[in-house]
A and B are shown apart, each in its own frame.
Chain A
Amino acid sequence: MASIGDIASRSSGGELLARARARAALLPDLLVEAQRIANIITQGLHGRKRRGIGEEFWQYRPYSEGETVARIDWRRSARDEHVYVRDLEWQAAHTVWLWADPSASMLYQSRQATISKESRALVIVLALAEILSRSGERIAYPQVFAPTSSRQGAERLAASLFSTEALAPSPDLNSISRHSECVYVSDFLDPVDEIIEKLEPMAGRAVRMHLVEVTDPAEENFPYSGRTEFVDPESGSKLTAGRADTLAAEYRQLYVARREELNRFAKSRGWSYTTTKTDGLASSALVQLFGALSAGSQL
């Protein structure tokens, strides 16, 4: 009997980039919400639709005592008997860190899936890079790509990614700057406690994480039966189940419980959690991510 799952070869740059472009084209320019950011950067400014530090006019409002006199708009004040202050629109740019899990488990592809998990993760990351670059945000990739604002962000990221040998299995999260966004694409198959322990410090550094779980249908549905020896692609350790089908119900329960726990954790930190299956379309996940990244702007 042929096996259900297999280890796919690592994806190559050009094809992925093309696919990412196609996905990115489906999305409008991204307006990344930047919360609690006061520092102005010269590029990638966009109005925050609220009063703040910026250059564009936002509103006139009556002067209230205590404000510095220098802010009074004398031209407007001269038109009637009140004294007005001219408010500006708050403008800020944001850095979005991207990360796709390069570990061996990501190379898994079952017969039900169209692509490997790694391929899906990279497509999502590159598509985001494309979108964000187009809208003037700065993108970065831990260990590979320092924060950069560039129209060709996706190409440059792809080039850098595929020329870097042996990425670390987990990113050096310390390099992620404070008050930035981070899109973290992985299959999250490590024990939940470890994952939470790894990500928890990010909340303290005010990094808004967007966790994207890439999952293979075989991992979720557990279509195995009979005497089966399971091999972990990362550690190589083996487990033998006498009758795999008897485990299915309980396994699914555990698998979903893990996802829900991660989801709960992300929500409790104000982070987003998105799931994408490799037998589905990447765009749906991208739309969700897009919503999550721009969620802050409605506030």
Chain B
Amino acid sequence: MIAFASPWVLAAFVVLPAIWWLLRLTPPRPQTEVFPPLKILARLIRKDETPDKSPWWLTVLRLLLASLLILALARPVLNPQAETVVADGPQAILIDNSWVTVADWESRLATARSLIEAAGDRDAPVILAFSAMASNTDIGPFDATTALEKLDAATPQPVAGDRNIAFTRILAVLSETKGANLALLSDGLAGGLLPVPKDVFSNVVFYTPANRAALALIGSVNGADALNVTATRDPARVAPEIFILSAFDARSRPIGSAELSFAAGEETADAKFELPFEIRNDIATVSIDGIATAGAIQLYDAGAGRRRVGLITGTTNEGAQPLLAPLYYIREALAPFADLVEPQAENLDATITAVLEDRPSVLVLADVGVISGASRAKLQDWVNKGGALVRFAGPRLAAAEPIVDDPLLPVVLRTGERALDGVLSWGEPQPIAAFPDTGPFAGLPAPRDVTVRRQVLADPSLLNSERTWASLEDGTPLVTGTRVERGVVVLFHVSPDATWSNLPISGTFVEMLRRVVQLASSNPSTAKTNTTALPPLRTLNADGRLIQPPATAEPAEPATAISFLHPPGLYGVAEAFTARNLFQPQTRFTPFTLGDDWNNVTQAAYITAEERDLRGPLFGLALGLIALDAMAVLWMAGALSQLRRRFVSAAAIFLAAAIIMPLHDASADQVSEADAIDAISQTRMAYVETGNAAIDDVTKAGIEGLNMFIASRTALEPGAPKAVDPAIDELAFYPVIYWPIDPDAAMPSDAALSKIDTYMKDGGTVLFDTRDELLSGFDPASASPATLRLREILAGMNVPALEPVPDDHVLTKAFFILQDFPGRYRGGPLWVEANAKTEADPARPVRALDGVTPIMITGNDLAAAWAADAFGEPLYATVPNDPDQRLFAYRAGVNIMMYALTGNYKSDQVHVPALLERLGQ
């Protein structure tokens, strides 16, 4: 809903055609020239051509811009609020904060806020009252600020509220005033107002909710086979509706769900929770899914739950032979859904007294014949208050002297039992006839396998067929029962054990007992005792959640109506509480209307959305279009292409970097599985590529040549040399890395150096070859470029102290016995990690050392000496050209490789004698 505060500005739209015409103005007509190479020219002109006409889209853009500006100047307003006529007097506001208002409370607040702000604008006092509030709540008059604070503090209450109280209080405040304004923010549900004294209100605004959505659960009946929940809805909701009800136990775990289906036009509907009895007993709350109000929830107390059943037997052999004990089958049948009480006392009277102190709902008397007078009175009183007395026959009851109109028996019994089966009987054991449709056993299938051999008989002349709940096929009653005041008395005409019939061991027995127990009220003896007020335990809030009771909640007597002071919820103590629900089963919702005696009434609707001034967004949009227009103009002038070109190249660089970087990182950090398997499947020497193809080729050929030599002389057959880049490749796979130093190559990166450092620390050996023996001068201070570069490289690593290979170093004896380590050149020393100088021990010609030197440095250009072509012919002449020198170079390579692979193996004492012999010592 959009309205304009200054609609006359919209007349400016008539100038749009003029703007259009202006925008379409064309520059002077150009000189026309025929020009065949137009295609070449076109490549130029695209850049700085000024079109003779503005492109249509630019015209549209600018017209849109103009339109937006006109619209914005007309001050459009979204969701305009109806201006209501107000009098100058105070503003009274009566807000219904009942349970219905939870859903649209914000809109009520917004409405009230706008009313208060309007009152504040004209400096009128505000009286703010709520239908559900404590009677001592201050209702004003307030100034607008205070009223707003009060308003913000208000919340919906889980009760229906009472407008009359609030309205009376408003009238009391306004008794002396005339010309007041009244705003009724109603919830739409009936609950009338008092007649208005004349002239108090000169202006009444009556707000009703746009959609009346009241929906509530109003009651439930825990029937024999299902929990029946009744719901009602506002009569305004006539369409058929379906809701899902969910049942929860005391710990809010979902137990079951049922469908609540309102037929079209129906005000009420029922939902059935068809759950097993035991599970139904656990239901603590039932609520409508997705509707969070205090009305959409039904609370249950123990009244719907398990019954307490007292068991008393007349026999004394309980426990000795459990399967023959009279109560055994009853106990087994009732235990799943009832709390059993079996007091043990010295005699029957004491037992009955003890049982009744436990306040059972049901009392089972198994084969109890004679009940003394005192106990009889107690029992009768208990039954009258709602107890269910269930008696079973047996020899004692059969033998008891019948009492006329015994209130503790449903029928008058004949003395003695009837035996249907036995040597002196003609009769056959009788099966059970179908259960009558009216009794508590209605609907149970009659068991075909149950036969009764013995029973007690009712006096047929006094037998009332209504009291016969079950009978045998010959018509004699099997179960009789009757209501006695609020209680019920039931008699099973058979014994509770399996001697008279096999009924107690059939499944039907369990069902029958269950139904009988359900007949009893939950707590017959609490009805009288619970007349005192119970403190609130947990109360519902307006959202339908059980919370700690608010400070305003007061203890409630059972008869007290639900009100603000007595919100719905659980009252009592945690062990025994009563559920108080918001509604009575007869509750119906009727719409709220004002009486005929109300004058000056204006109907109004709640504010559903805030009033919004649209000028800001429109001006913003116009600004955006101006920016767009500027961009378009720049673009057409060709100024953007320059920028764009730069942007594109920059973007391309970024993109390329973004693509390359991850690739690079990935290859640096991760070795593909195939590569790794390939690298470690063979022992091989690696070499560092200098980037100088001449050097790298020599290195590769050299290692290949050495490999041939190693393979022919030793058990080792090294794999093809592998070129590595220490910055990228994983080095751990290689025992020796040969690194020819090329002074012209780029300095390795810090990352590469740190990787090499790690490799050396972790046991790898790097063989640096400066290849500069020939260049090394006589002055030890002068250094070749390669040596300088090597120093640079080593400066970035943790290099141990070095020494030329001493005579007793393992390296000299690792495979061949060598005095020096020549390469293409001879004379340069091989530097290795220095070891602590040990006393020269003639018995130990080889120093026992742990580990392998991480670093070897030579200048003899080993690779060039090793380098051989595919036929094994050497590629480079040695300096001096001495075939032996090449042989020694190969041997040096073998020793280095063996040393790297076997470590100090050769220094082991085991080999000393042989070595001594070889050394001639």
Interface residues of A (CB under 8 A from B): 1, 3-7, 105-106, 108, 187, 189-191, 216, 219, 224, 226-235, 237, 239-242, 246-247, 250-251, 254-255, 258
Residue of B30, B31, B40, B43 with most partner-chain A CB within 10 A: B31
Closest B residue to A252 by beta carbon equals B40
> In the complex where A240-B49, A240-B51, A254-B44 touch, is A190 in contact with B39 (Cβ < 8 A)?
yes
CB-contact partner of A232 in B35, B44, B49, under 8 A? B35
Tell me the smallest distance from the CB of B46 to a CB of chain A, in Å: 9
* Complex Cα spacing A106 to B31, Å: 22
The reply to whether A187 and B36 contact each other, CB–CB distance below 8 Å, is yes
CB-contact partner of B49 in A5, A108, A239, under 8 A? A239
Tell me the smallest distance from the CB of A234 to a CB of chain B, in Å: 7
Complex A-B: 11 CB contacts under 8 Å:
A5-B35, A219-B35, A224-B31, A229-B31, A229-B32, A229-B33, A239-B41, A240-B49, A240-B51, A241-B49, A246-B48
> In the complex where A228-B31, A229-B31, A230-B35 touch, is A242 in contact with B48 (Cβ < 8 A)?
yes
Q: Is B28 an interface residue when CB atoms closer than 8 A count as contact?
A: yes
The reply to whether B30 and A3 contact each other, CB–CB distance below 8 Å, is no
* Complex Cα spacing A285 to B39, Å: 26
Chain B residue numbers with a CB within 8 Å of A254 are: 40, 43-44
Chain A residue numbers with a CB within 8 Å of B40 are: 189, 251, 254-255, 258
Residue of B39, B49, B51 with most partner-chain A CB within 10 A: B39
* Complex Cα spacing A258 to B39, Å: 11
Chain A residue numbers with a CB within 8 Å of B29 are: 229
Tell me the smallest distance from the CB of B247 to a CB of chain A, in Å: 80
> In the complex where A227-B28, A241-B49, A247-B45 touch, is A232 in contact with B33 (Cβ < 8 A)?
no
The reply to whether A228 and B36 contact each other, CB–CB distance below 8 Å, is no
Q: Is B38 an interface residue when CB atoms closer than 8 A count as contact?
A: yes
Interface residues of B (CB under 8 A from A): 27-45, 48-52
Tell me the smallest distance from the CB of A251 to a CB of chain B, in Å: 6
* Complex Cα spacing A241 to B28, Å: 12
Chain B residue numbers with a CB within 8 Å of A235 are: 38
Chain B residue numbers with a CB within 8 Å of A239 are: 38, 41-42, 45, 49
Closest B residue to A250 by beta carbon equals B44
The reply to whether B31 and A232 contact each other, CB–CB distance below 8 Å, is no
Chain B residue numbers with a CB within 8 Å of A246 are: 48
The reply to whether A226 and B31 contact each other, CB–CB distance below 8 Å, is yes
Closest A residue to B36 by beta carbon equals A105
The reply to whether B45 and A231 contact each other, CB–CB distance below 8 Å, is no
CB-contact partner of B31 in A1, A7, A233, A237, under 8 A? A1
Tell me the smallest distance from the CB of B891 to a CB of chain A, in Å: 59
* Complex Cα spacing A286 to B249, Å: 110
Residue of A228, A233, A255 with most partner-chain B CB within 10 A: A228
The reply to whether B33 and A189 contact each other, CB–CB distance below 8 Å, is no
The reply to whether A231 and B50 contact each other, CB–CB distance below 8 Å, is no
The reply to whether B36 and A234 contact each other, CB–CB distance below 8 Å, is yes
> In the complex where A240-B49, A241-B45, A242-B50 touch, is A233 in contact with B33 (Cβ < 8 A)?
no
Chain A residue numbers with a CB within 8 Å of B43 are: 254
The reply to whether A231 and B35 contact each other, CB–CB distance below 8 Å, is yes
The reply to whether B36 and A219 contact each other, CB–CB distance below 8 Å, is yes
* Complex Cα spacing A11 to B12, Å: 63
Chain B residue numbers with a CB within 8 Å of A227 are: 27-28, 30-31
Chain B residue numbers with a CB within 8 Å of A255 are: 37, 40
**Interface pairs A-B: 4 shortest CB-CB:** A105-B36, A232-B38, A230-B35, A229-B30
Chain A residue numbers with a CB within 8 Å of B37 are: 189, 219, 255
Chain A residue numbers with a CB within 8 Å of B34 are: 3, 5-7, 108, 230-231, 233
Chain A residue numbers with a CB within 8 Å of B35 are: 5, 219, 230-233
Chain A residue numbers with a CB within 8 Å of B39 are: 189-191, 232
Closest B residue to A225 by beta carbon equals B31
4 further A-B pairs in the complex, CB-CB below 8 A; given A4-B33, A234-B36: A106-B36, A108-B36, A228-B31, A241-B30
Chain B residue numbers with a CB within 8 Å of A7 are: 34
The reply to whether A230 and B28 contact each other, CB–CB distance below 8 Å, is no
Residue of B35, B40, B43, B45 with most partner-chain A CB within 10 A: B35
Closest B residue to A226 by beta carbon equals B31
* Complex Cα spacing A1 to B31, Å: 8
Tell me the smallest distance from the CB of B141 to a CB of chain A, in Å: 76
The reply to whether A3 and B32 contact each other, CB–CB distance below 8 Å, is yes
The reply to whether A231 and B32 contact each other, CB–CB distance below 8 Å, is yes
Chain A residue numbers with a CB within 8 Å of B31 are: 1, 3, 224, 226-229
Tell me the smallest distance from the CB of A187 to a CB of chain B, in Å: 6
Chain B residue numbers with a CB within 8 Å of A231 are: 32-35, 38
* Complex Cα spacing A295 to B91, Å: 113
Chain B residue numbers with a CB within 8 Å of A189 are: 36-37, 39-40
Tell me the smallest distance from the CB of B633 to a CB of chain A, in Å: 15
Chain B residue numbers with a CB within 8 Å of A108 are: 34, 36
Closest B residue to A5 by beta carbon equals B34
Chain A residue numbers with a CB within 8 Å of B44 are: 247, 250-251, 254
Closest B residue to A246 by beta carbon equals B48
Residue of A229, A230, A247 with most partner-chain B CB within 10 A: A230
* Complex Cα spacing A230 to B31, Å: 8
Closest B residue to A117 by beta carbon equals B36
Tell me the smallest distance from the CB of A2 to a CB of chain B, in Å: 10
Closest B residue to A7 by beta carbon equals B34
* Complex Cα spacing A237 to B41, Å: 12
Tell me the smallest distance from the CB of B25 to a CB of chain A, in Å: 16
Closest A residue to B52 by beta carbon equals A240
The reply to whether B48 and A228 contact each other, CB–CB distance below 8 Å, is no
Closest A residue to B43 by beta carbon equals A254
Chain A residue numbers with a CB within 8 Å of B52 are: 240
Tell me the smallest distance from the CB of B149 to a CB of chain A, in Å: 69
